Amino acid sequence: MSLRFKDGVSVRQLSTQQLFIMETVRDVMEVVAGVNCWVTSLNDGRHSFTSLHWSNAAVDFRSKHLPNLETKYNVLDAIRERFSPFGRDYDVILEDVGTDNEHYHVEWQPKSRG
């Protein structure tokens, strides 16, 4: 399986965190669902002014190509499990379930260790 990019996704100026996120989610998509991993947004697209996409710390992935809700949530759980060794520094969300905008949002946001 491979990592693919939706038309219009900008792959310039990627951060190490974004590359790590993409590689991790690609592996999960292959192992859990047996499908290609589609990146739908990096530091492009429509996001809030405060979005971590603009600081190269977030990636969105297609989920609508997965066959059913059970698979979508199995993938979600597996992605979260892969990032669990890093504590709460990675947030993984399945957003807008059941809509045309449904996608996985994964962001790197280091939490205070104080």
Sign of the torsion angle spanned by Cα atoms 86, 29, 59, 76: negative
Structure tokens at 69: 């809700």
**Which domains, and CATH codes, for the chain?**
3-108 (3.30.1380.10)
- Gap between the Cα atoms of 78 and 96, Å rounded: 19
Among 59, 53, 11, CA closest to 37? 59
What are 85's two structure tokens? 């060794």
Global pTM exceeds 0.85: yes
* Percentage of the chain modeled with pLDDT above 90: 71
- pLDDT band of 111, cuts 50, 70, 90: confident
Cα(81)–Cα(73) distance, rounded to whole angstroms?
12
pLDDT of 87 reads 86
Give the residue among 93, 110, 104 at the shortest CA–CA distance from 65: 104
In this prediction, residue 89 carries a pLDDT of 93
* Alpha-carbon span 83 to 91, nearest angstrom: 9
pLDDT digits (tens, 9 = 90+) for 38-75: 999 997 766 666 677 666 789 999 999 999 999 999 99
Provide the pLDDT for residue 60.
95
| Local structure of 103: helix, strand or coil | strand
Which stretch of 10-14, 17-21, 101-105 has the lowest confidence by average pLDDT? Answer: 10-14
